Chain A
Amino acid sequence: MTTLSQIAMPTTRQKSRSRKLRDFFQSLFSHAAINFIGLFFLIPFLWMIMTAFKSNQDVFHTPPRWLPYDNVRVEVNGEQLPLYDVKTENGVKQLAAVKIVEGVGTFVDPVNPGEEMQYEIQEGAVKIAEPVMHVSFNWKNFPDAMERGSRPGIGASFWVYFKNSLVIAFFSIVGTLLSNAPVAYAFARLKFFGRDLLFIIILATMMLPFQVTMIPIYLFFNDTLGWGDTFLPLIIPTFFANAYDVFLLRQFFRTIPEEMCDAARVDGASEWQIFTRIVLPLSTPVLATVTVFTFLWAWNDFTGPLLFLTSPRNFTMALGLQDFQSQRSMIWNQLMAASVVFTVPIIIAYFFAQKTFIQGIKLTGSKE
C-alpha cells in the first residue's frame, strides 16, 4: 500500500500544480475580459451623465475630461466674477474678470479690488489669461434643458414632452392590461371551435412587419377619423390586444392549476367570474411584467409619435429629443441632461422591478 501511494502522490500533486496554474491564467483572462467589456458598457453611460453636468465651454474641451469642470468664481464687491490666471508683468496672478470685450479683459485683484487692469486674453499663440477651473457639477443644466423647448420659441418645454410621454404610457398600460388578459384567458383555458386556428393566426401576426400596415393605419386615423396630432392613434390600438402580450399572459395562465377553475365551475361560477376572481388575482407577477414592458415600449416608441404628432405641444420625450438634436447648434450638455431625465424613469422602474424585467425578457425573448 505504501508503494502505491508513493507512486500515486507525486502525479496528483503535479497535476494539481499544472491545473492550478491553468486555473490561475483562466481566471486572470476572464477577469480581464469581463472588466474590459464592462468598460464598453459603462463608459458611454457615465459619459452621458458627466456631459449632462458640464458647463458650455467644458463640453468641447480637448482632450475631453471625465469630470465636469467650471470656472472658479470669486465674490468681488457683491458680484460673482470668474477667476483667471493672468500672466502680468510681475508674474502669474489670479485676477477676477469684470468683463471681456473683443479679446481684451478687464480684471481686478480680488484681494484689492480698487484698481482695474486690462490685459489681452491672447497674444499670438500665447494665452495671457486662462480661466481657473475646478470640478463643479453644473446642476443648472437640468432645469435649463427641461424648461426649454426642442426649438427656440415654440411655447412647449421638455416638461410638456415628459408629461405627454407619461400620459401616453399610462393609457397604453391601461389598454394593454384590459384587452390582453381576457383574450389570453380564452386561449389558455376555454375550449371552443376554432380556438387553435385563431391562435395560429395571432402568432402569425407577429411576423407581419409594421411597415405593411403603417400607411393604411396612418390614413385611417389621420384622414378617416381626423385624429391627427392627438394621442388617440397611439393609445387606442393598445385597447385591442396584441400578439406578444397575449402569448405572454397565456403561457402564465396555463400554469395555474386547472383543478381550481374546475372546482369553481362545479360551484356554478361563470367563466367571467373564474377569470376575474381566480385567475387574475393569481397572475399579479405576469401582469406586473406586462405593465413594465408596456411602459418601456410606450416610453421608448419613436415611430408612432413621429407619424402622428406634428405640433410641438404634443411631442413626446423621444420626439422632442430628436427635434432638439436636429437643430443646427448642438447643445450637448443640455441634450445629455434631457436624455438623462428621459432615461431616469426606466432606471427607477428597473431597480424597483429587477426580477420582473429579467423574467419578462426571458419570457418574451426580447425587450420590445
Chain B
Amino acid sequence: MDELRTSNWRWTWPPKLPKWGLRDRTNFKIGMLFLLPWTIGFLVFTLYPMVTSFVYSFNIYHAKEPLEWVGLKNYATLLTDDLFWQSLYNTLYMVAIGVPLTLLVSFFCAVLLNLKVRGQSIYRVIYFLPSIVPTVASTILWLWILNPQTGILNTLLGYIGVEGPNWMSNPGWSKPGLILLGMWGMGGTIVIYLSGLQDVPTALLEAAELDGANWWQRLWNITVPMVSPITLFNLITGVIAQFQYFAQAYVFRGTHDLGYPLNSTLFYSVYLYQNGFLWLKMGYASAMAWVLFIIILICTILLLKVSERFTYYAG
C-alpha cells in the first residue's frame, strides 16, 4: 500500500501534464508495448463488460432478444424480491459468522503450529493439505461426511452421545455445514498467519515474559496487535470471497434444486447465476451484480475505516 503513497502521480485539477520530450515519448511507447497484453485484456474483459452489464441492468434482457429499456425497474424489483432478500441474508450469515469464526480458528491453529512441538512440520502439512483439495472434490467429500445416516461425523458425534443433525436437509444446519467445509480448507489462511507470527519480534515476547506476563497476556497484548494487519487482510479477502461464494453451494445441494434445503443455501451469487443463466433474466442479474459490487465496496471501505483504530503497523 505504500506503493500508492509514494507514487509520483497526484490528483490535481486541472491536471498538470509534464512536458514531453523525445525521450519521454520513446519511454511511453516502450512502456505501452510492454503493457499491451494487459491493456487489451482490460478493455475487452473488464471495461467493455462493465459498461455493457451496467447498461443491461437498466433493461429487460432475455439473451438473444433485443434490449428493452426499463430504467430503474430492475433495481426496484430487487427491493420487493423475497428470494433476493433471502439470498442476501444467507450471504450475510456467512460473512458475519463464517468469516470471523474461520479467522479466529485459523489464528488459533497458527499459534499451535508455531509452538515447538515434536513433528511440527508434519502437523503443518496435515493442517495445510485439505486446502489444496479441489473445491468440487472437497464439497462432495463433505456431503459424504455430513450424510446424516452413514456419514462419519454423525457417527463420531454418536460415540460421545450427541445426536447429529440432518446437516443437508435441515435449513438451519446447511450453512453451519458449509462453514465446517470452509474451515476444513482454511490452510491458506493459517499459512499467512503463521508467517505473520514468525515476524513477531522474539525480543518483545521475552521482555514481556521477564516482566511476568503470562502466556495469554503475551498473546493478547503483543501477538494479536502485531498480526493485526494480517487479520485485516484476511478479513477483507475473506469477506470479498464470501460475497462471491458459489461453487460450494452449487455442489452442496446434491441432487436437489439450487438453494436446497428451503433456499437456505441460495447465496447471492447462486441466485444471480439462477437469474442470469437458468431463467435468462440477464438484465435483472446484471442489476444484482452491480448491487453486489456496491455492497462489496462499502464493506471494504467500512472495514478499512473501522480497522484504522484497531490495526497496528510496526515501523
Contact = CB atoms under 8 A, between A and B. Distances in A.
Interface in A180-209: 180, 182-183, 185-186, 190-203, 205, 207-209
Interface in B234-252: 234, 237, 240-241, 243-244, 246-247, 250-251
Contacts of A325: 140, 143, 251, 254
Contacts of B50: 208, 212-213
A210 B49 CA distance: 10
Interface stretch (A95-103, A132-140, A217-225): A217-225
B129 A192 contact: no
B115 interface: yes
B38 A318 contact: no
B134 A179 contact: no
A342 B132 CA distance: 11
A78 interface: no
A237 B43 CA distance: 12
Given A193-B28, A216-B48, A300 B282 contact: no
Question: Looking at B24, B117, B133, B247, which has the most chain A CB atoms within 10 Å of its CB?
Answer: B133
A363 B142 CA distance: 29
A239 B37 contact: yes
A327 B3 CA distance: 51
B41 to A, nearest CB: 3
Given A64-B155, A213-B50, A237-B41, A41 B126 contact: yes
Contacts of B135: 300, 302, 318
Contacts of A60: 150
B30 interface: yes
Contact of A361 (B188, B254, B292): B188
B136 A347 contact: no
Interface stretch (A31-39, A81-89, A113-121, A122-130): A31-39
B22 interface: no
A109 interface: no
A343 B134 contact: yes
A212 B53 contact: yes
A207 to B, nearest CB: 7
Contact of A217 (B34, B45, B129, B272): B45
Contacts of A74: none
The DSSP consensus for interface residues of chain A is helix
Contacts of A361: 188, 191-192
B194 to A, nearest CB: 9
Interface in B114-171: 115, 117, 123, 126-127, 129-137, 140-145, 149-152, 155, 158
B132 A63 contact: no
A346 B7 contact: no
Nearest to B48: A216
Contact of B152 (A43, A186, A195, A220): A43
A211 B117 contact: no
B3 A199 contact: yes
A216 B48 CA distance: 8
A296 interface: yes
A365 interface: yes
Nearest to A368: B241
B127 A38 contact: yes
A192 B30 contact: yes
A216 B134 contact: no
Interface residues of B, number: 97
A190 B141 contact: no
Interface string A44-68: 1101100100000001111110000
Contacts of A214: 49, 276, 289
A357 B144 CA distance: 28
A255 interface: no
Contacts of B117: 30-31, 34
B233 interface: yes
Contact of A241 (B32, B41, B255, B269): B41
B282 A183 contact: no
Nearest to A178: B37
A193 B49 contact: no
B75 interface: no
A358 interface: yes
Contacts of A48: 133, 137, 141, 144
Contact of A365 (B48, B115, B192): B192
Contact of A192 (B28, B188, B288): B28
B42 A209 contact: no
A44 B153 CA distance: 9
B302 interface: no
27 contacts: A37-B127, A45-B130, A51-B144, A178-B37, A182-B34, A182-B37, A183-B34, A183-B37, A186-B34, A193-B20, A193-B24, A208-B46, A210-B244, A213-B45, A215-B53, A217-B45, A217-B49, A223-B63, A240-B41, A240-B44, A242-B41, A302-B135, A302-B250, A303-B247, A318-B135, A321-B137, A368-B241
Q: Which 6 A-B pairs have the closest CB atoms?
A: A240-B41, A192-B31, A186-B34, A213-B49, A216-B49, A179-B37
